């Protein structure tokens, strides 16, 4: 059973990469198990929101002024589930890949990043 600590996480994305969310990344990400989504209990309330609040919104929130965003583009915010869904491919590529670049100062454990990948690949429900 995954611990509450694994569910209460912190950011996936401060930086200057503003490529559209549908534009891929060179980092290969192995697919999750075919039945993972059937078994997954992860949703926005018990995983997505805590992860984004803890790891992303310190830089990627519309409430953060430009000078305090650590170079995160003003147009890349994760204030809502819809915002996260818009950028989910980039979040996965930058924060849940085999060589994550977000958050830039480190961050989530490999287990937490695996949960992020599962949540995104299972539809960010």
Per-residue confidence (pLDDT) for residue 29, from 0 to 100: 59
Mean per-residue pLDDT over the chain, rounded: 82
pLDDT band at 9 (very low <50, low <70, confident <90, very high): very low
Domain of residue 52 covers 4-121
- 121 is written with which tokens? 């690949």
| pLDDT over 90 at 68, yes or no | yes
| pLDDT over 80 at 27, yes or no | no
CA distance linking residue 69 with residue 67, whole number of Å: 6
Token pair 């960010």 in the structure block, residue? 124
Query: Could you read off the pLDDT of 110-119 as tens digits, one per residue?
Result: 999 999 999 9
Q: Coil, strand, or helix at residue 102?
A: coil
**Which of 41, 56, 40 minimizes the C-alpha distance to 95?**
56
What pTM value is reported for the model? 0.75
| pLDDT over 50 at 14, yes or no | no
**Which of 64, 42, 15 minimizes the C-alpha distance to 121?**
42
Number of domains in the chain: 1
| pLDDT over 60 at 22, yes or no | no
Query: Could you read off the pLDDT of 28-51 as tens digits, one per residue?
Result: 556 788 789 999 999 999 999 999
């Amino acid at each position: 059973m995954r611990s509450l600590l694994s569910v209460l996480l912190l950011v996936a994305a401060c930086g200057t990469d503003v490529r559209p969310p549908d534009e891929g990344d060179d980092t290969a990400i192995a697919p999750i198990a075919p039945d993972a989504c059937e078994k997954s209990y992860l949703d926005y309330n018990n995983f997505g929101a805590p992860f984004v609040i803890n790891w992303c919104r310190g830089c990627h929130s519309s409430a953060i002024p430009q000078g305090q965003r650590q170079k995160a583009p003003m147009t890349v915010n994760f204030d809502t589930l819809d915002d996260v869904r818009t950028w989910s491919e980039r979040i996965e590529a930058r924060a849940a890949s085999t060589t994550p670049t977000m958050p830039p100062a480190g961050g989530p454990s490999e287990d937490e990043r695996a949960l992020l990948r599962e949540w995104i690949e299972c539809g960010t429900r």
